[in-house]
Amino acid sequence: MTTLPAHPILSCDEARALEARLFGGDEAREWPAMQCAGRAIGVAVLEDFQEIGGFSAAGRVLVLVGKGHNGGDALIATRTILEQYPQAGADVLFVFGEQALRPLTQRAWQELLQTAPQRVAARRVGEGDLAYDLCLDGVFGFQFRPPLDERAGAALRWANARSVRLRAAVDLPSGLDTSDAFRADFTYATGSVKAPALQCPNAGRLRNLDLGFFDPARQDDWPGHTDFVLLPSVLSPLSALRSPLSDKRAYGHLFVLGASRNYPGAALLAVLAALRSGAGLVTAFVPESLAPAFAARAPEAMWIGWPETAEGGLALAGHYLIRERLARATALVLGPGLGRETETLTLAANIMEAATVPVVLDADALQPDIVRAGSAPRVLTPHAGEFARIAGDAALRNFCGKTGATVVLKGPITHIGTAEAVYHSCFGGPVLARGGSGDLLAGLIGGLLAQAVAEQLPVPSCRAGSPAVSLSNRPNPAGSGTGKAAAYGDAALQAAARGVVWHGRAADALARAKGQVAVQTTQVLDYLSAALRDVHS
C-alpha cells in the first residue's frame, strides 16, 4: 500500500489507548502536551477567524469547561488568545463546578487567571454577555459517553442560543449528534483525528492539529487501518528545488479535452490550473469556435480546434486529432464542460479505450461506460451525485476495488479512495462551494499526474551540445510489458492527494485573505504559491 504523509483516524477507544501509551497517566508528561494542544487550538482559531474579518480587538470569549483535559486545552487556548489581544476578555462556565476539575485543568484555570485577572470571570448558565466573538467547547471531547447529562445539556443549550461569531469544539463537539449537542463551526482534533468527527453533523469543519503523537516513519504501527487523514507535508516535494538542468519535457505533457458551446469555460479553468501545476506542456482540445478566444486567455497552452456537432460539442470526426498526438502525452484530463451529447460521450469512451497514459475523468465524462472503458490508470473526480451515478450503492473502497480507479470524492471533507485505503483531506471550505472549483481541481490533479509519469521516463538533457530527444520517441512505460500498475506505480494516488490538499490549502489562504463571499473561483489559483509554504514535516 502507498505510504503518504498521513495519520491514522482512530476510534475513541484507540485514542485513549494511544494517549495512555504516550503519557501513562503521568501529569509531568501530560502537562507539556496539554500546553502544546491548547496553544495549537488558540493559534488555529485565530487563523480561521480571518475568514470572517479576524478576532475583534476587544473580543469576548465564552469557554465551556468540563472536568477533564479537554477543558484544560480550552482554557490554555483562551490564554493564548488573551495574550495576543490585551483588550479581550473571557467568561468561563464550569459545567460541573470548579471543584470537579481534574488537577491539570485546575492548573490551566489558575494560569489563565494569572495571565488576565481583570479580564476573566467564572459564570453560571444565564450569566455573562449576550453576544460573544468565540465560544470554545471543552466539556467532553472524545471522553463523551451518551446519554447527555442534564447539567451539560442545559449548558450546551444555553451556549447554542448565544449570539456567537465562531463556535469551536476541542476534539469532538460535546454531545456529538444528540439534540442538545454543541453546534460547532470548527472542530480542532488535538493529536489524532477521532472517527466520529468525520460523520458528526455538529462538527463543522475539521482541523487536524499535529502534536507529534505519530512517528511519520512508522505508519505500520497501525495494521489493519484503512482510513487516514492527509498532512500538509504531502506537498513537500512540490516546494523543493527543481534541477538546474530542467527541460520543459521533463515535467510532463498534459492533454485536456473538454468544453462545449453550452459549457465553454470549464475546460479553460482546467487548463489554467494545469498551467499553475508545474507541468511542462499543456495541450487543450476544445470546439474550434472556442479555441481562438481561449488561446488569447491562456497563450502558454497549445490550443487545438476540434470539429463540432450541431449542438456545439466535440464531434467523433475529430478523433484523429488526439489519436495522432497521443504518444506525446504523459497524462490526459477528459470531461470538463464536455456536455452529454451521445456523439460526444461515445467519443470519450473511444478515447478511454485507446488511452495508454493515466487519465483524469471529470464532470460529464463520469458515466458508467466511460469510467470502465479501456485499461489505462484513472483518477475519477466525482461529487456525491456523480459518484451515485457511476457507483450506485457501492461503498467507496469497494467501487475502487472493482474498477481499479483512484476516486476523489469531493465534499466538505474530500475522500480519496483506493482499493486499499481512504485518505481524507480537511483542507478547504465553503469558499469552494461555487461553480468551477471542481474544474480547477481536475486540471491541478492532471498536471501533477503528467509530471509524476514524466519522472519515470528518460529525461532529455538540456546541456549545450546535447542531442535533442523528442518526448514522442521516449519509451512509454505502459507498453513496457510489466503492466500499467507496475509502470506507473502510485502516481495516480500521489497526484490525487497532492492536488486535493494543494487546492484546499489555496482555498483556505484565499478565504483568510478575502473572505468567503466576495471572491471568484479563479482567485484560488493566485494562492497556490502561498499554499506550498510551511508544508515540511
CB 84 within 8 A of CB 46: yes
List of residues 6+ apart from 253 with CB closer than 8 A: 279, 280, 281, 282, 283, 328, 329, 330, 331, 450, 454, 471
Terminus-to-terminus CA distance in the chain, angstroms?
Answer: 21
Q: What is the pLDDT of residue 468?
A: 35
Q: How are strands ordered across the β-sheet holding 331-334?
A: 6-8, 227-230, 422-425, 414-417, 406-409, 378-380, 359-361, 331-334, 253-257, 281-287, 302-306
Higher-confidence residue of 134 and 533: namely 134
Q: What percent of the chain has pLDDT over 90?
A: 87
β pairing state of 406-409 and 414-417: antiparallel
Cα angle: 308, vertex 310, 313; to 5 degrees: 45
Round to whole Å and give the CA distance between 106 and 123.
Answer: 16
Q: What is the pLDDT of residue 184?
A: 98
Angle between the N-to-C axes of helices 69-84 and 103-115, in degrees from 0 to 180, rounded to the nearest 10: 10
Core vs surface per residue 176-210: b (16+ CB within 10 A) or e: bebebbbbbbbbbbbbbbbbbbbebebbbbbbbbb
pLDDT band at 462 (very low <50, low <70, confident <90, very high): very low
User: For cell 489562504, what's the residue?
Assistant: 509
Round to whole Å and give the CA distance between 234 and 32.
Answer: 27
Whole-angstrom Cα Rg for the chain: 26
List of residues 6+ apart from 327 with CB closer than 8 A: 472, 476
Q: What is the pLDDT of residue 535?
A: 79
pLDDT at residue 537 above 60? no
Mean pLDDT (the chain, rounded)? 92
Reduced to 3 states (helix: H, G, I; strand: E, B; else coil), residue 125 is coil
| 243 secondary structure, DSSP code | P
Query: Over the stretch 328-386, which tens digit does the pLDDT of each residue have?
Result: 999 999 999 999 999 999 999 999 999 999 999 999 999 999 999 999 999 999 999 99
Q: Which three cell numbers stand for residue 336?
A: 470538463
Round to whole Å and give the CA distance between 30 and 22.
Answer: 9
Q: What is the pLDDT of residue 129?
A: 77
